[in-house]
Chain A
């Protein structure tokens, strides 16, 4: 079986598996990192949202052969390390606004929130309501109101 190497939460990892296995299953089933959740497998629900080289993406829809040794994949478990802290400011905002209900969507929501704020900044502007409305992540428990507040608050702390 082919070998695949990439960086996961700051450490290089190598797995033996078919080229076309989607990264979500490599991360969850083969490497045992279960923060990214499955909710659809077709890039719709966004529960699996992680970062690749700092950008949000959905590993359920990327083949493992499409990432390489220089690609830095960050899951929710590695988010705080990117700011060298116990918690990322967005996670802190999430706690302060008591966003979580069942929690299933929340790792993906937080990863999406961080990337959305960064993207706005990279474009030289502050986060807008339209940016937030562009976040496609499903929360079936209906925590959307608190997500909105937490993102805005988290953005001020980032």
Chain B
């Protein structure tokens, strides 16, 4: 099998000198602090240390056709809004040096697999001249004073903390040099620092550990930081392995349910058959409480909780409960009723057709998609009469702290919230569903609980990417003269706070622009890419009544990885292919002609070249190519899809095969320096996989308020047998921009779109529903909804290999 990773030595792969020289550091001042403490402690203001004056330079305009009308995301996008949301706080992040010369940093972002711990450690090691393994990054508890800063979402973390973390680290190193100068008797500017040791010109040296107390400050004072020039970077920009990998491969890495909190026994919840149903009565609570291992049974707002010695006994107890359920808020809804509502909510075209132009209009439906990670929703809660302690994977721990305090009838400062590394997130951990539920249970029974959702709970009552209908129209003669795209979507729940951070920042940074939360996020992520004349994009949401906005009031939705973009971009790129055909051109040549700037042209050409776009393929195999711009990344994706019967009809036990992506290429021009090329490649691979899975197989089915899926053998996310034989990530030299790009979600939309385009090329059919197999007969027998959990098998040894 060919290598899947770009060779860093190849000219087109990430190279460490990517645009370093372009950083306009000369006109900036970076201010931070030394704090009074027994050892050296340096700090910086989040969002401080620099002024983001100039917006990213826009790539030179290019292409034929009529320039598009400007879209908000062309000049100010979601990354800007989230970076700016991190600005207005006077609170500090601090780096502490211990007497062994090791640096410690409590990260106010949440590690969920994206590698942010490693990225931050690299920045600190770089700026302080420390070996990477002398930097220790832990996750900070909820710090209410950080407000919108303690939020991990929208792939904005690296973009937001790049300068503040470097500022604090640079101040620490400055102070170490100063202290060393006294010890070594030479001026600081004659000293050199390397791997945690400072050496004088005379060859004498002193270690950071020996300087930790000498460099301590006895007062807190503001100082100017002297940041390294990016051209001097030795660690940042080098492919670097994850710092937590050893713990993960040895089983030492702990997730929420692995934590040993005294008395926090396994706890699960018996949940309703339909989405957000509520418990009416339980006939056999006492009987169930006497089952082996069970300690408690209690009715809560979302169901009936059981606590016991093992999760296995909790599963049996949950299934033994005889609960009468009240209907949920969406019991009357099925895939078809929701689709109809979305179509009804789609407004007529606003740009009138003219007699001189032809019009093309298309509509695509995107099914609900499960957003759960492999690590199920889980939380530990220990609620006492006057205090509470919570452990969970929380990307907005402050929101969790506030809502839990409110639910418990406590003040915010009575609730301590610990953030635990997550077993994935994909947007799910923006919410604190499990933490809130665990707190309610613990308060009701007066004991600590270790709550875990069953996989079936995650599938059926967990958050989904909302169903949507994309409608798109263009008018054209020789060129495209108008282009209008509409997305009707079931309401996305932004009540977790990310949305407020974004919309209030937009209101502050862009006076005169007024958006709801969803409109703001939609507008910030939907740029124009083509010279298609008058361009309009619009979002409408259904299921928006006040009832829907109450907790458990409607569908459980969330801004699953990449929010609106997978649906928006797939609608657009598939339509562009059809438009090309109508205008008598090949999809690739058509894009070359109409893309609006040189960056798009560059990534398009690169993807076509590396993928071998247009080379002859057997019947039933097709090539697709798609473009996107988001998170400060300009991207093109190439997909080769095999739709031949021998591939489509492969049999895998309890699995779905279907068309197979045989080769993929994802090309990006990142907005600024790439801190960890290895981490970026991992994100490109993961996003690419997510994208084609959503195009081909991954969705959930809704029938009268019930979700059919309850297992990974029902929800068809990619497995080894679906994996492309070859995937090549290509990172081109960075653009001149001041903000590093986000990577966590970047690949999803372009991969989804390119796969859809490849399907059209391979089969000659334009799909109207995604994933393409969604309306096939269900390839599995759904587990019963009552009792709620699939029974635990006993025949595991029969499958031993």
A binding-site residues for B, Cβ under 8 Å = 1, 17-18, 20-26, 28-30, 32, 34-45, 47, 52, 55-63, 66, 75-77, 80, 87, 91, 94-95, 98-107, 110, 115-116, 119, 129, 132-149, 152
CB contact list, B423-437 vs A, under 8 A: 423-424, 426
Q: Which residues of B contact A21 (CB under 8 A)?
A: 293, 310, 312-313
Least Cβ–Cβ distance between B639 and chain A, in angstroms: 15
Q: Is the CB of A29 within 8 A of B374?
A: no
**Complex Cα spacing A94 to B249, Å:** 7
Interface presence of B311 (CB below 8 A): yes
Nearest chain B CB to A87 CB, angstrom units: 7
> How far, in whole Å, are A147 and B293 apart by their CA atoms in the complex?
39
* Chain B residue nearest in CB terms to A18: B292
Contact B720 A25 (CB under 8 A): no
Whether B794 pairs with A55 at a CB distance below 8 angstroms is no
Question: How far is it, in angstroms, between the C-alpha of A110 and the C-alpha of B3 when the chains are bound?
Answer: 20
- Is A148's CB under 8 angstroms from B251's CB? no
Tell me, rounded to whole Å, the shortest Cβ–Cβ distance linking B261 to chain A. 12
What are 25 sample pairs from A and B whose C-beta atoms fall under 8 A apart?
A18-B313, A21-B293, A29-B311, A38-B257, A39-B375, A40-B455, A40-B712, A42-B711, A52-B797, A56-B801, A58-B796, A58-B799, A62-B797, A76-B249, A76-B250, A77-B250, A98-B678, A100-B245, A102-B423, A104-B113, A104-B255, A115-B801, A133-B720, A143-B682, A144-B720
A59 CA to B690 CA, complexed, in Å: 29
With a CB–CB cut-off of 8 A, which chain B residues contact A144? 685, 689, 718, 720, 723
Known: A44-B713, A146-B4. 15 other contacts (CB 8 A): A20-B316, A21-B293, A25-B311, A29-B266, A60-B793, A77-B250, A104-B423, A105-B423, A116-B801, A119-B801, A136-B719, A136-B720, A140-B426, A142-B690, A143-B682
Task: Find chain A residues with CB under 8 A from B678 CB.
Answer: 98
* Closest A residue by C-beta to B253: A103
B599 at the interface (CB under 8 A from A): no
Contact indicator A47/B374 (Cβ below 8 Å): yes
CB pair B720 A132 closer than 8 Å: yes
Q: Is the CB of B712 within 8 A of A66?
A: no
Q: Within 8 Å CB of B54, what residues of A?
A: none
Task: Give the chain B neighbours of A39 by CB distance below 8 A.
Answer: 374-376, 455, 712
Chain A residues lying within 8 Å of B4, measured Cβ to Cβ, are: 145-146, 148-149
Question: Which of A1, A106, A144 is most buried by chain B, counting CB atoms within 10 A of its CB?
Answer: A144
What residues of A have a CB within 8 angstroms of the CB of B686 in the complex?
101, 141-143
B7 smallest CB distance to A (angstroms): 13
Determine which of B249, B255, B712 lies in contact with A44 in the assembled complex, contact meaning CB atoms within 8 Å: B712
Residue contact B800 to A56, C-beta cutoff 8 Å: yes
- Could you tell me the distance between the alpha carbons of A135 and B796 in the complex, rounded to whole angstroms? 16
Residues in B whose Cβ lies below 8 Å from that of A42:
455, 711, 790-793
Q: A35-B251, A142-B686 are in contact. Are A63 and B794 (CB under 8 A)?
A: yes
- B686-718 with Cβ < 8 A to chain A: 686-690, 711-713, 717-718
A71 CB to nearest B CB, Å = 10
Give the chain B neighbours of A30 by CB distance below 8 A. 309-310
Q: Which 7 A-B pairs have the closest CB atoms?
A: A35-B251, A102-B113, A103-B248, A104-B423, A61-B796, A142-B686, A142-B689
B797 pairs with A102, CB closer than 8 A: no
Q: A40–B452 Cα gap in the complex (Å)?
A: 11
Query: How far does the Cβ of B622 sit from chain A's closest Cβ, in whole Å?
Result: 22
B712 touches A138 (CB 8 A): yes
With A and B bound together, what is the CA distance between A137 and B654 in angstroms? 13
Residue B349 is within 8 A (CB to CB) of chain A in the complex? no
**Complex: A20 Cα to B260 Cα, angstroms:** 24
Minimum distance in angstroms from A149 CB to a CB of chain B: 7
* A47, A76, A136, A145, most chain B CB atoms within 10 A: A145
> Which of A25, A44, A76, A95 lies in contact with B312, CB distance below 8 A?
A25
Give min CB distance, B117 to chain A, whole Å: 11
B254 at the interface (CB under 8 A from A): yes
Residues of the A chain whose Cβ atoms lie less than 8 Å from the Cβ of B252? 35, 77
CA distance A76 to B79 in the complex (A): 39
Chain A residue numbers with a CB within 8 Å of B311 are 25, 28-29, 38, 41
Among B1, B376, B688, B792: residue with most chain A CB under 10 A? B792
| A148, B720: Cα distance in complex, Å | 9
Q: How many B residues are at the interface, by size bracket? A: 35 or more
Chain B residues 771-801 with CB under 8 Å of chain A are 789-797, 799-801
Task: Tell me the nearest residue of chain A to B111, going by C-beta.
Answer: A102
Instruction: Evaluate contact between B249 and A55: CB separation under 8 angstroms.
Output: no
Check B258–A34 contact: CB distance below 8 A.
yes
Question: Does B246 belong to the interface (CB within 8 Å)?
Answer: yes
Docked CA distance A58–B655 (Å) = 18
Q: Judging by beta carbons under 8 Å apart, are B712 and A45 in contact? A: yes
Contacts of A146 in B (CB 8 A): 4, 682, 685
Q: Which residues of B contact A91 (CB under 8 A)?
A: 249-250
Which residues of chain B have C-beta atoms less than 8 A from A57's C-beta? 796-797, 799-801
Q: B248 to A17, Cβ gap below 8 A?
A: no
For A61, A66, A77, the residue with the greatest tally of chain B CB atoms inside 10 Å of its CB is A61
Contact residues in A for B685 (Cβ distance below 8 Å): 142-146
Q: In the assembled complex, how far is the CB of residue A153 from the closest CB belonging to chain B, in whole angstroms?
A: 12
Which single member of B1, B792, B801 contacts A22 (CB below 8 Å)?
B792
> Could you tell me the distance between the alpha carbons of A154 and B184 in the complex, rounded to whole angstroms?
49
Q: What is the CA–CA distance of A145 and B450 in the complex, to the nearest angstrom?
A: 34
CB of B593 within 8 A of chain A?
Answer: no
Q: A62-B794, A102-B373 are in contact. Are A45 and B112 (CB under 8 A)?
A: no
User: What residues of A have a CB within 8 angstroms of the CB of B721 in the complex?
Assistant: 133-134
The residue of chain B having its C-beta at the shortest distance from the C-beta of A53 within the complex is: B800
If A76-B250, A95-B246, A103-B244 touch, does A61 touch B717 (CB 8 Å cutoff)? no
Complex contact A76–B455 (CB within 8 A) = no
Report B409-433 CB contacts with A as 1/0, cut-off 8 Å: 0000000000001111010000000
Given the contacts A29-B311, A40-B711, A62-B796, A34 and B251 also touching, CB distance less than 8 Å: yes
B316, B423, B454: residue with the most chain A Cβ atoms closer than 10 Å:
B423
Chain A residues within an 8 Å CB radius of B690: 142
Contact status A55-B801, CB under 8 Å: yes
Chain B residue contacts of A62, Cβ below 8 A: 794, 796-797
Residues facing A in B277-317 (CB within 8 A) are 292-293, 309-313, 315-316
In the complex, whether B671 has a CB less than 8 A from a CB of chain A is: no
Chain B residues positioned under 8 Å from A75 (CB to CB): 251
Closest CB in chain A relative to B659 CB, distance in Å: 16
Contact (Cβ within 8 A) B310 A26? yes
Cβ-neighbour of A61 out of B454, B687, B792, B801 (below 8 A): B792
